Amino acid sequence: MSEIISVKSLVKKYDNDFIAVKNLSLKINQGEIIALLGPNGAGKTTLISTICGLASITSGSITVNGLDVIQDYRKTREIIGLVPQELALEPFEKVINSVKFSRRLFGKKNDNEYIEKLLTKLQLYDKKDNIIKSLSGGMKRRVMIAKALSHNPKILFLDEPTAGVDVELRKDMWNIVKELKNEGVTIILTTHYIEEAEMIADRIGIVNNGELLLVEEKNKLIKRMSIKILKVRLKKPLKKIPQKLAKYKLKLIDDGNSFNYYYNIGKEKTGITSLLSDMNEIGINLFDIQTEETSLEDIFVKIIKD
Protein backbone atom coordinates (compact mmCIF):
# COMPACT_ATOMS: atom_id res chain seq x y z
CA MET A 1 0.00 0.00 0.00
CA SER A 2 1.29 3.48 -0.84
CA GLU A 3 1.82 6.06 1.85
CA ILE A 4 -0.76 8.88 2.01
CA ILE A 5 0.22 10.70 5.22
CA SER A 6 3.68 11.14 6.60
CA VAL A 7 4.35 12.82 9.92
CA LYS A 8 8.03 13.46 10.65
CA SER A 9 9.44 14.48 14.03
CA LEU A 10 6.32 16.48 14.86
CA VAL A 11 6.44 18.70 17.92
CA LYS A 12 3.49 20.75 19.11
CA LYS A 13 4.10 23.14 21.97
CA TYR A 14 1.28 25.36 23.22
CA ASP A 15 1.67 28.95 24.40
CA ASN A 16 1.61 27.79 28.02
CA ASP A 17 4.72 25.67 27.24
CA PHE A 18 2.76 22.43 27.42
CA ILE A 19 4.16 20.00 24.86
CA ALA A 20 1.21 18.05 23.49
CA VAL A 21 3.14 16.13 20.82
CA LYS A 22 6.77 15.12 21.29
CA ASN A 23 8.87 14.30 18.26
CA LEU A 24 6.20 12.05 16.79
CA SER A 25 6.66 10.27 13.47
CA LEU A 26 3.97 8.23 11.75
CA LYS A 27 3.21 6.91 8.28
CA ILE A 28 -0.31 6.12 7.20
CA ASN A 29 -1.03 3.99 4.17
CA GLN A 30 -3.66 4.66 1.57
CA GLY A 31 -6.90 2.79 2.12
CA GLU A 32 -6.20 1.57 5.64
CA ILE A 33 -8.05 2.16 8.89
CA ILE A 34 -5.66 3.17 11.61
CA ALA A 35 -6.89 3.57 15.16
CA LEU A 36 -5.03 5.85 17.53
CA LEU A 37 -5.57 4.71 21.07
CA GLY A 38 -4.62 6.65 24.12
CA PRO A 39 -5.92 8.11 27.35
CA ASN A 40 -7.34 11.64 27.61
CA GLY A 41 -4.72 14.28 26.94
CA ALA A 42 -2.43 11.82 25.17
CA GLY A 43 -2.08 14.09 22.13
CA LYS A 44 -4.33 12.26 19.67
CA THR A 45 -6.58 15.24 18.88
CA THR A 46 -3.60 17.60 18.69
CA LEU A 47 -1.98 15.29 16.15
CA ILE A 48 -5.14 15.34 14.03
CA SER A 49 -5.46 19.11 14.44
CA THR A 50 -1.97 19.72 13.09
CA ILE A 51 -2.61 17.53 10.05
CA CYS A 52 -5.96 19.20 9.29
CA GLY A 53 -4.81 22.79 9.83
CA LEU A 54 -6.58 23.52 13.11
CA ALA A 55 -3.35 23.83 15.05
CA SER A 56 0.01 25.25 14.08
CA ILE A 57 3.13 23.09 14.02
CA THR A 58 6.00 23.95 16.37
CA SER A 59 8.54 21.84 14.50
CA GLY A 60 8.68 18.84 12.21
CA SER A 61 6.75 18.30 9.02
CA ILE A 62 3.58 16.70 7.74
CA THR A 63 2.88 15.66 4.17
CA VAL A 64 -0.41 14.49 2.74
CA ASN A 65 -0.30 12.75 -0.61
CA GLY A 66 3.32 13.91 -0.86
CA LEU A 67 2.46 17.59 -0.31
CA ASP A 68 3.36 19.74 2.66
CA VAL A 69 0.30 20.64 4.77
CA ILE A 70 1.50 24.24 5.21
CA GLN A 71 2.98 25.08 1.81
CA ASP A 72 0.31 23.23 -0.17
CA TYR A 73 -2.54 23.54 2.28
CA ARG A 74 -5.20 23.91 -0.40
CA LYS A 75 -4.31 20.66 -2.13
CA THR A 76 -3.85 18.71 1.08
CA ARG A 77 -7.06 19.93 2.70
CA GLU A 78 -9.08 19.24 -0.44
CA ILE A 79 -8.68 15.51 0.14
CA ILE A 80 -9.24 15.52 3.89
CA GLY A 81 -12.52 15.27 5.77
CA LEU A 82 -12.68 15.84 9.50
CA VAL A 83 -15.25 14.80 12.07
CA PRO A 84 -14.26 16.45 15.35
CA GLN A 85 -15.00 15.10 18.76
CA GLU A 86 -17.55 17.75 19.74
CA LEU A 87 -20.95 18.03 18.08
CA ALA A 88 -20.36 21.39 16.41
CA LEU A 89 -23.24 22.32 14.14
CA GLU A 90 -25.22 25.45 13.28
CA PRO A 91 -28.43 24.64 15.22
CA PHE A 92 -30.85 26.68 13.11
CA GLU A 93 -29.79 25.36 9.72
CA LYS A 94 -31.42 22.59 7.71
CA VAL A 95 -29.46 19.37 7.42
CA ILE A 96 -29.16 19.53 3.64
CA ASN A 97 -28.09 23.18 3.61
CA SER A 98 -25.45 22.50 6.22
CA VAL A 99 -24.01 19.62 4.17
CA LYS A 100 -24.10 21.67 0.96
CA PHE A 101 -22.35 24.53 2.76
CA SER A 102 -19.51 22.22 3.76
CA ARG A 103 -19.12 21.01 0.19
CA ARG A 104 -18.91 24.54 -1.19
CA LEU A 105 -16.35 25.54 1.44
CA PHE A 106 -14.09 22.99 -0.19
CA GLY A 107 -14.53 24.74 -3.52
CA LYS A 108 -16.74 22.03 -5.00
CA LYS A 109 -19.72 22.70 -7.21
CA ASN A 110 -23.10 21.73 -5.79
CA ASP A 111 -23.95 18.12 -6.62
CA ASN A 112 -27.46 17.24 -5.51
CA GLU A 113 -27.17 13.64 -6.64
CA TYR A 114 -24.03 13.00 -4.59
CA ILE A 115 -25.38 14.79 -1.52
CA GLU A 116 -28.65 12.85 -1.67
CA LYS A 117 -26.78 9.55 -2.00
CA LEU A 118 -24.60 10.49 0.93
CA LEU A 119 -27.58 11.40 3.09
CA THR A 120 -29.28 8.15 2.13
CA LYS A 121 -26.19 6.13 3.04
CA LEU A 122 -26.07 7.82 6.43
CA GLN A 123 -29.83 7.32 6.93
CA LEU A 124 -30.35 11.06 6.95
CA TYR A 125 -32.33 11.48 3.76
CA ASP A 126 -35.73 11.67 5.44
CA LYS A 127 -34.31 14.26 7.85
CA LYS A 128 -32.74 16.43 5.16
CA ASP A 129 -35.18 19.30 5.62
CA ASN A 130 -35.14 19.12 9.41
CA ILE A 131 -33.56 21.88 11.45
CA ILE A 132 -30.41 20.50 13.05
CA LYS A 133 -31.38 21.41 16.60
CA SER A 134 -34.41 19.12 16.30
CA LEU A 135 -32.22 16.04 15.71
CA SER A 136 -31.09 13.51 18.28
CA GLY A 137 -27.43 13.30 19.30
CA GLY A 138 -26.90 10.25 17.10
CA MET A 139 -28.40 11.97 14.08
CA LYS A 140 -26.27 15.03 14.69
CA ARG A 141 -23.22 12.76 14.71
CA ARG A 142 -24.31 11.44 11.30
CA VAL A 143 -24.70 15.01 10.02
CA MET A 144 -21.12 15.68 11.12
CA ILE A 145 -19.96 12.68 9.10
CA ALA A 146 -22.06 13.78 6.10
CA LYS A 147 -20.46 17.22 6.25
CA ALA A 148 -16.99 15.70 6.43
CA LEU A 149 -17.75 13.49 3.41
CA SER A 150 -19.58 16.17 1.43
CA HIS A 151 -16.53 16.95 -0.73
CA ASN A 152 -15.70 13.30 -1.36
CA PRO A 153 -12.42 13.20 0.59
CA LYS A 154 -9.77 10.48 0.22
CA ILE A 155 -8.86 10.72 3.89
CA LEU A 156 -11.28 10.86 6.78
CA PHE A 157 -10.34 11.76 10.33
CA LEU A 158 -12.78 10.59 12.96
CA ASP A 159 -11.98 12.01 16.36
CA GLU A 160 -13.76 9.77 18.85
CA PRO A 161 -16.78 9.33 16.58
CA THR A 162 -18.67 7.06 18.94
CA ALA A 163 -18.01 8.89 22.19
CA GLY A 164 -21.28 9.03 24.09
CA VAL A 165 -23.38 7.20 21.51
CA ASP A 166 -25.41 4.09 22.20
CA VAL A 167 -24.32 0.60 21.24
CA GLU A 168 -26.64 0.35 18.24
CA LEU A 169 -25.45 3.60 16.74
CA ARG A 170 -21.85 2.66 17.46
CA LYS A 171 -22.27 -0.51 15.42
CA ASP A 172 -23.91 1.51 12.63
CA MET A 173 -20.90 3.82 12.67
CA TRP A 174 -18.54 0.87 12.38
CA ASN A 175 -20.47 -0.36 9.35
CA ILE A 176 -20.25 3.11 7.79
CA VAL A 177 -16.50 3.18 8.40
CA LYS A 178 -16.08 -0.28 6.87
CA GLU A 179 -18.09 0.79 3.81
CA LEU A 180 -15.92 3.86 3.41
CA LYS A 181 -12.82 1.73 3.59
CA ASN A 182 -14.24 -0.48 0.85
CA GLU A 183 -14.66 2.67 -1.25
CA GLY A 184 -10.94 3.37 -0.81
CA VAL A 185 -11.12 6.07 1.88
CA THR A 186 -8.22 6.12 4.32
CA ILE A 187 -9.56 6.42 7.85
CA ILE A 188 -7.76 7.68 10.90
CA LEU A 189 -9.72 7.09 14.03
CA THR A 190 -9.06 8.12 17.58
CA THR A 191 -10.90 6.29 20.26
CA HIS A 192 -11.05 5.36 23.89
CA TYR A 193 -12.91 2.19 23.05
CA ILE A 194 -10.48 -0.67 22.60
CA GLU A 195 -13.35 -2.75 21.27
CA GLU A 196 -13.82 -0.22 18.50
CA ALA A 197 -10.19 -0.47 17.41
CA GLU A 198 -10.34 -4.24 17.69
CA MET A 199 -13.45 -4.39 15.50
CA ILE A 200 -12.54 -2.10 12.63
CA ALA A 201 -8.88 -1.08 12.55
CA ASP A 202 -6.18 -2.54 10.33
CA ARG A 203 -3.40 -0.98 12.38
CA ILE A 204 -3.24 0.32 15.91
CA GLY A 205 -1.18 3.23 17.15
CA ILE A 206 -0.84 3.80 20.87
CA VAL A 207 -0.26 7.39 21.95
CA ASN A 208 0.58 8.51 25.46
CA ASN A 209 2.05 11.76 26.81
CA GLY A 210 2.46 13.09 23.27
CA GLU A 211 4.52 10.12 22.15
CA LEU A 212 3.67 7.34 19.78
CA LEU A 213 4.51 4.26 21.78
CA LEU A 214 3.92 1.83 18.95
CA VAL A 215 2.19 1.32 15.63
CA GLU A 216 1.52 -2.18 14.48
CA GLU A 217 -0.91 -4.28 12.51
CA LYS A 218 -3.75 -5.13 14.81
CA ASN A 219 -3.56 -8.90 14.41
CA LYS A 220 0.23 -9.00 14.78
CA LEU A 221 0.04 -6.80 17.85
CA ILE A 222 -2.55 -8.99 19.49
CA LYS A 223 -0.54 -12.09 18.65
CA ARG A 224 2.76 -10.64 19.78
CA MET A 225 1.47 -9.17 22.97
CA SER A 226 -1.10 -11.79 23.78
CA ILE A 227 -0.68 -13.37 27.15
CA LYS A 228 -2.92 -16.36 27.75
CA ILE A 229 -4.01 -17.50 31.15
CA LEU A 230 -4.11 -21.14 32.09
CA LYS A 231 -6.51 -21.60 35.01
CA VAL A 232 -5.80 -24.80 36.91
CA ARG A 233 -8.34 -26.05 39.43
CA LEU A 234 -6.86 -28.46 41.99
CA LYS A 235 -8.34 -31.52 43.65
CA LYS A 236 -6.91 -30.44 47.02
CA PRO A 237 -6.23 -26.84 47.98
CA LEU A 238 -2.68 -25.57 48.42
CA LYS A 239 -1.52 -23.28 51.22
CA LYS A 240 1.37 -21.99 49.14
CA ILE A 241 3.04 -22.67 45.83
CA PRO A 242 5.63 -25.47 46.23
CA GLN A 243 9.29 -24.58 45.65
CA LYS A 244 9.42 -26.84 42.62
CA LEU A 245 6.78 -24.72 40.88
CA ALA A 246 8.19 -21.33 41.89
CA LYS A 247 9.80 -20.77 38.48
CA TYR A 248 6.33 -20.68 36.84
CA LYS A 249 5.28 -17.59 38.84
CA LEU A 250 1.90 -19.07 39.62
CA LYS A 251 -0.76 -17.06 41.35
CA LEU A 252 -2.93 -18.85 43.88
CA ILE A 253 -6.60 -17.96 43.87
CA ASP A 254 -9.92 -19.24 45.29
CA ASP A 255 -8.40 -19.91 48.73
CA GLY A 256 -5.75 -22.14 47.21
CA ASN A 257 -8.20 -24.23 45.21
CA SER A 258 -6.89 -22.87 41.88
CA PHE A 259 -3.92 -21.09 40.39
CA ASN A 260 -3.29 -19.07 37.25
CA TYR A 261 -0.38 -19.58 34.94
CA TYR A 262 0.42 -16.80 32.46
CA TYR A 263 2.11 -17.67 29.15
CA ASN A 264 2.83 -15.99 25.85
CA ILE A 265 1.46 -17.74 22.78
CA GLY A 266 3.93 -15.90 20.59
CA LYS A 267 6.84 -17.83 22.15
CA GLU A 268 8.10 -21.19 20.95
CA LYS A 269 7.52 -22.94 24.26
CA THR A 270 4.54 -22.17 26.46
CA GLY A 271 5.82 -24.16 29.48
CA ILE A 272 2.47 -25.89 29.98
CA THR A 273 3.80 -29.42 29.42
CA SER A 274 6.66 -29.01 31.91
CA LEU A 275 4.31 -27.40 34.45
CA LEU A 276 1.95 -30.34 34.30
CA SER A 277 4.85 -32.76 34.46
CA ASP A 278 6.33 -31.03 37.54
CA MET A 279 2.89 -31.00 39.21
CA ASN A 280 2.59 -34.72 38.59
CA GLU A 281 6.10 -35.30 39.98
CA ILE A 282 5.30 -33.67 43.33
CA GLY A 283 1.85 -35.19 43.55
CA ILE A 284 -0.42 -32.25 42.87
CA ASN A 285 -3.52 -33.47 41.10
CA LEU A 286 -5.57 -31.23 38.91
CA PHE A 287 -9.34 -31.27 38.75
CA ASP A 288 -9.99 -29.01 35.76
CA ILE A 289 -8.18 -26.76 33.28
CA GLN A 290 -9.33 -23.77 31.26
CA THR A 291 -7.65 -21.02 29.24
CA GLU A 292 -8.46 -17.32 28.76
CA GLU A 293 -7.16 -14.91 26.12
CA THR A 294 -6.10 -11.35 26.84
CA SER A 295 -7.93 -8.60 24.98
CA LEU A 296 -6.53 -5.57 23.20
CA GLU A 297 -7.55 -3.65 26.28
CA ASP A 298 -5.17 -5.72 28.42
CA ILE A 299 -2.40 -5.07 25.89
CA PHE A 300 -3.16 -1.36 25.85
CA VAL A 301 -3.08 -1.11 29.64
CA LYS A 302 0.20 -3.07 29.75
CA ILE A 303 1.86 -0.80 27.16
CA ILE A 304 0.70 2.38 28.87
CA LYS A 305 1.89 1.10 32.27
CA ASP A 306 5.28 -0.01 30.90
Partner 1 sequence: MNLRGIQAIYIYEMNRSFRTLIQSLVSPVLSTILYFIVFGAAIGSRMENISNVSYGAFIVPGLIMLTVQMQSVNNASFGIYFPKFIGTTYELLSAPLSFVEIVIGYVGAATTKAFSIGLIILATSYLFVTINIVHPFFMVFFLLLTCISFSLLGFIIGIVSDNFEQLNIAPMLIITPLVFLGGSFYTLDMLPPFWQNFALLNPIVYLISGFRWAFFGIGDVPILTSVFFILLFTSICISIIWYIFKTGYRIKN
Does position 290 bind partner 1 by CB under 8 A?
A: no
Q: Which is nearer to partner 1, 160 or 198 (CB)?
A: 160
Q: Which is nearer to partner 1, 14 or 287 (CB)?
A: 14
First to last CA, the chain: 31
Q: Which of residues 144-183 bind partner 1 (CB under 8 A)?
A: 147
Q: How far is the CB of 49 from partner 1 (least distance, A)?
A: 6
CA distances from residue 220 to 186, 188, 190, 200, 227 in whole angstroms, order as listed = 20, 19, 20, 15, 13
Stretch that binds partner 1, among 22-30, 95-103, 191-199, 254-262 (CB under 8 A): 95-103
Return the H-helix or E-strand segment holding 230: strand 227-234
264, β-bridge pairs: 227
Answer for which of 102, 186, 190, 208 binds partner 1 (CB under 8 A) is 102
Q: Which is nearer to partner 1, 49 or 65 (CB)?
A: 49
Does position 90 bind partner 1 by CB under 8 A?
A: yes
Q: How far is the CB of 16 from partner 1 (least distance, A)?
A: 11
Q: Which of residues 52-71 bind partner 1 (CB under 8 A)?
A: 52-56
Cα dihedral: 137, 139, 144, 148 (round 10): 160
Q: Which is nearer to partner 1, 24 or 279 (CB)?
A: 24
Q: What is the DSSP pairing of strand 67-68 with strand 19-29?
A: unpaired
Q: How far is the CB of 82 from partner 1 (least distance, A)?
A: 5
The answer to whether the CB of 15 falls within 8 A of the CB of 4 is no
Answer for which of 44, 49, 155, 189 binds partner 1 (CB under 8 A) is 49
How far apart are alpha carbons 250 and 260 in whole angstroms? Answer: 6
Does position 2 bind partner 1 by CB under 8 A?
A: no
- 136 phi-psi bin (left φ>0, alpha ψ -120 to 50, beta other): beta
Q: Which is nearer to partner 1, 1 or 54 (CB)?
A: 54
- The crossing angle, in degrees rounded to 10, of helices 112-121 and 137-149 is 140
Stretch that binds partner 1, among 29-37, 83-91, 243-251, 264-272 (CB under 8 A): 83-91
Stretch that binds partner 1, among 49-57, 206-214, 237-245, 294-302 (CB under 8 A): 49-57
Return the H-helix or E-strand segment holding 287: strand 286-293
Answer for which of 23, 31, 78, 152 binds partner 1 (CB under 8 A) is 78
Q: Which is nearer to partner 1, 11 or 276 (CB)?
A: 11
Cα dihedral: 11, 15, 16, 22 (round 10): 0
Answer for which of 6, 11, 30, 106 binds partner 1 (CB under 8 A) is 106
Burial degree of 74 (CB within 10 A; 0-12, 13-18, 19+): exposed
How far apart are alpha carbons 228 and 127 in whole angstroms? Answer: 48
What are the residues binding partner 1 (CB under 8 A)? 14, 46, 49, 52-56, 73-75, 77-78, 80, 82, 84, 86, 88-92, 97, 101-102, 104-109, 147
